[in-house]
Amino acid sequence: MSRQNALELAQLTKKYGETIAVDGINQLIASGTYTCLLGPSGCGKSSTLRMIAGHETVSSGDIVLAGTNITDLPPARRGTAMMFQNYALFPHLSVIDNVAFSLKMKGIARDERRAQARTLLELVDMASYGDRLPAQLSGGQQQRIALARALITSPQILLLDEPLSALDPFLRLRMRSELKRLQLSLGISFIHVTHSQDEAMALADQIIVMNGGRIEQAGTPHEIFDAPRTEFVARFMGGHNIIALDGAKYAVRADRISLASVPLAAGRDAVVKAIEYLGTTVNVSLDMEGAPEITATVSDSAFFAAPFEAGQSVSVAWQRADAHELAA
């Protein structure tokens, strides 16, 4: 991960009147990486992306790309390209002219720009659709065209605003792997805004979790999931129990909690409330002192080797290293 062509956000702030959408965030995004901005709606992730793209003015702070301050540059001169949530394809232009649009704006002759657009269409496997209108394409196909149109400007960074949210679940999975493949083969940075943890974990080299206009935590998917730094991250990523002990709060992964009907070393007493069978795993809901609502995820083989029942008293334990203290 080189710092050379990195994108740097410094004290980046966006205010809409009195409301603060993005609150002085600082972040380094290395070049050639896949980064996901993750958070619930209204957390400031889209505003951040749109500021990087240049479609939203920056209230204060700077955006630096490869050593150049691009904060006040127009969108097309930043080295970024954006893929819009609803794809924003021009409905009156054929697929090939949509892809060639930015070249037309630069005044490149028709034959040349079409030839270039054709190579981009080949990249996204849409070469045979050049003459169609966007309305004649399916959602997934429209997305490929939007990708090709954004990539024809040879951006250093591709910005994707919830690119998969308009697709059905099956297509979403397919496009997800295709985005990753494309990012690896092009070697440029992708910054992808999403509210789906699964999407972020599957795609990202780096996840930036945002909440209330601030960055809660940034790190690799493993870091974020395994050791959430705040209660918000633990709850938002899911699969964690928040346990209050000795005046502090800890996050413990549900699958790191051991259960036994006999007392465990350093074990705590709890009562089984409910059991949820999920196939490969079983979720056991427990009522424990200091944590009235915790879940232990047990593999199905372990569960059926020694099943529990609702109402049963059990002993709950976890490794010390698995309990991550949360920032207040």
Partner 1 sequence: MSVIPTSASGAKAPDLPLAASARYRLVRKARDGERASWLLSSPLVLVLGIFLVLPILMIVVVSFWGATEFSIYPAFEFDNYQFLFGSAVTYQVFFKTFVFAAITWVFTLAIGFTVAYFLAFHVRSLTWQIALFLLCTIPFWTSNIIRMISWVPFLGRNGIANSALLQMGLIDQPLEWLLFSDFAVVLAFVHLYTLFMVVPIFNTMMRIDKSLVEAARDAGASGLQILTNVIIPLAKPGIMIGSIFVVTLVMGDFITVRFMSGSQSANVGRLISNDIALLQYPSAAATAVVLLAMVLIMIAIMLRFVDIRKEL
CB of residue 53 vs partner 1: minimum separation in angstroms? 7
CB of residue 213 vs partner 1: minimum separation in angstroms? 22
Classify strands 68-69 and 214-219 as parallel, antiparallel or unpaired. Answer: unpaired
Closer to partner 1 by CB, 108 or 202: give it: 108
Q: What is the DSSP string of 262-277?
A: SPPTT-EEEEEEEEEE
What are the CA-CA distances from residue 72 to residues 154, 159, 297 (Å)? Answer: 20, 17, 50
CB of residue 309 vs partner 1: minimum separation in angstroms? 54
Q: Is there a contact between 160 and 194 (Cβ–Cβ < 8 Å)?
A: no
Q: Is there a contact between 23 and 74 (Cβ–Cβ < 8 Å)?
A: no
The rounded Cα 252 to chain-centroid distance in angstroms is 22
Closer to partner 1 by CB, 84 or 264: give it: 84
Closer to partner 1 by CB, 135 or 328: give it: 135
Map residue 296 onto helix, strand or coil.
Answer: strand
Closer to partner 1 by CB, 54 or 130: give it: 54
Count how many residues are written for the chain.
Answer: 328
Neighbour-count burial of 12, counting CB atoms closer than 10 A to its CB (0-12 exposed, 13-18 middle, 19+ buried): buried
Tokens of 192: 């992808």
Q: What is d(CA 108, CA 89) in angstroms, rounded to the nearest whole number? A: 20
Count of Cβ atoms closer than 10 Å to residue 96 Cβ: 23
CB of residue 106 vs partner 1: minimum separation in angstroms? 6
Count of Cβ atoms closer than 10 Å to residue 154 Cβ: 9
Which residues contact partner 1 (rule: CB under 8 A)? 53-55, 74-77, 81-82, 84-86, 88-92, 101-102, 104-106, 149-150, 153
Closer to partner 1 by CB, 45 or 149: give it: 149
Of 324, 328, 327, the C-alpha closest to 240 is 324
Tokens of 190: 């992708």
Closer to partner 1 by CB, 85 or 196: give it: 85
Closer to partner 1 by CB, 100 or 284: give it: 100
CB of residue 190 vs partner 1: minimum separation in angstroms? 16
CB of residue 240 vs partner 1: minimum separation in angstroms? 36
CB of residue 72 vs partner 1: minimum separation in angstroms? 14
